Structure 1
């Protein structure tokens, strides 16, 4: 094969091929069609001098793919993204490369899309108030995705970086949303909370969250880091992408498990079970969707981007 003939899908082309609503639909449809998140291939995490190298392969009957992602904590100080990734999509039958995709752009699309699928099944129908922790690309992605499934009118931004916060607020306002920077206590009035940070400790106390609210925590994939506290996990209806992944990587779940404050039964279900209506979502309890990011999500969205253009 001629490597120069391989389609290269950059961030702009990916956005053109697969707008956020279509990415959300692709994830939902894959789960409804029987995709089992528990059967996904575990990612390999390698410690390197710059940080971590993540290898994330997945396969279906149509496609096989792998994302290679570098997580370099010192990159932002150098003016570089913290996470840089590439994605290779291959034909499942022959393993012949089909497309090379900007893996960072793919992550920025699939992560909010997955959160939006969970939020769509967990949030009250008239949820209009969103609070976002963090002001990076994932924060905007979650604003874009969540407003695709709920009638969001206002966005509160909580961050320690004033310049980033101002940029996100301005972007939200240009998109027709009422937006402002707010203190963490603003979660008390939120219908939906998106945690998109690198924090290793809880961002707010459990008592601040309303009983009807949904929290999507996507910022960490390390067993020792978390964005929500033990009391909230114990109080909430907890949904994860997959039990296997959560019990391996999700500090939000693992820390209270290790302390004995919860048992594994605290996980009410995985994303497939939620989509298929097999999770008991109690109306008077807050809801937590905990995501660590999984390879099947990249594959589903990458395949949709390629198939949708043909």
Structure 2
């Protein structure tokens, strides 16, 4: 039996750009895959944090990600997200490749957001971006947003001023005008992206302008959220899948428990957007909430494997 191909972060970044990764995800949805039918994520509390098991199968492939979330790791100089992805032949479940699970997550999550931004944010002019977070996901989202939209200014909001300045400096190396800012900067933002470990809202949702787009990816727990009830109640809400969002998205489940919204408040899904089934335009903010799903990992892992196998 042929040894499984080992795919590390360097190989991933060499093979797939953020824009290309977004197109991989779009192609899966356009081919008819239904994220509502995807298996749920299994979460197991452990002393260091949380273990996640994320299986998926469609087309000729299957796979499973085993990920760890260790909140104490950054203080030790270690990554907060760990893990591995095992890619399998869907016909016989023989191993095809073993991928760096953390790097895969850092690639696919921004691509999901970029795909949503592409469909929710008009491209009629450069957009002002406010980015919450300074970790690997913040860097990945900056690159992914720049791949799909022109940015007039990037404003970085982070708890650590040094890290925030570093990310703003990186944005400038990519050709964007950038600075650090405060949560109040959302009032003049066209696009707000939240990729933090926050468990409470990051900003006042009443400040977000009509027509602005907000993306939140930082949590997949029913009690944790990056956005407040005020934003969610006044926004057109889009998700990866209704079932997953109503199971895991605290940004929606907290307002739901408060009675501020109902389950039918979700306007549509990522598949709806990609397939051109978006509802009529409104003057409300657009809100995309991502929890991360196993089908996305499989789609990207499969594309990486196919590209690297040829080389």
Would the TM-score normalized by the shorter structure come out above 0.5? Answer: yes
User: 1:90-129 to 2 correspondence within 5 Å?
Assistant: 90-125=88-123, 126-129=125-128
Instruction: State the secondary structure of the residue aligned to 1:268.
Output: strand
How far apart are 1:196 and its partner, in Å? 0.5
CA deviations over 1:122-170 (Å, ceiling 9, x no partner): 0121242111000111011111111111111311000111121121111
Q: How much has 1:308 moved relative to structure 2?
A: 2.3
List aligned pairs for 1:94-243, cutoff 5 A: 94-125=92-123, 126-243=125-242
Contact between 1:127 and 1:192, CA under 8 Å: does it hold in 2? no
Cα distance change, pair 281–135 in 1 and its aligned pair in 2 (3 A): farther
Local SS of the residue matching 1:146: helix
Separation in structure 2 between the aligned mates of residue 109 and residue 288 of structure 1, nearest angstrom: 21
Please identify runs of 4+ aligned residues in structure 1 that moved more than 4 A: none
Q: Any gaps of 5 or more consecutive residues in structure 2?
A: none
Other structure's SS at 2:65 match: strand
Q: Corresponding residue for 1:26?
A: 24
Hey, what's the Cα distance between the residues in 2 that align with 1:191 and 1:37? Answer: 28
RMSD of equivalent CA atoms: 1.1
Aligned residues: 308
- Structure 1, 234-243 or 127-136: larger mean CA deviation: 127-136
Gaps of 5+ in 1: none
For 1:293 and 1:127, how far apart are their aligned partners in 2? 28
The answer on whether the counterparts of 1:127 and 1:191 sit within 8 Å (CA) in structure 2 is no
1:89-119: CA deviation from partner (whole Å, max 9, x where unpaired) = 0110011111111111100010000011111
Give the aligned partner of residue 256 of structure 1: 255
C-alpha displacement of 1:274: 1.6
Per the alignment, residue 273 of structure 1 pairs with 272
- Is the 1:237–1:281 contact (alpha carbons within 8 Å) kept by the matching residues of 2? no
Partners of 1:127 and 1:216 lie apart in 2 by 17
Q: Choose which of 33, 36, 39 in structure 1 pairs with 2:37.
A: 39
Q: CA deviation at 1:279?
A: 2.5
For residues 208-245 of structure 1, give each alpha carbon's deviation from its aligned partner in whole angstroms, at most 9, with x where no partner exists. 11111100000000100111111111100000000111
**Deviation by residue 1:225-275 (Cα, 9 ceiling, x = unmatched):** 111111111100000000111011100000011111110111011111121
**How big is the shift at 1:66?**
0.5
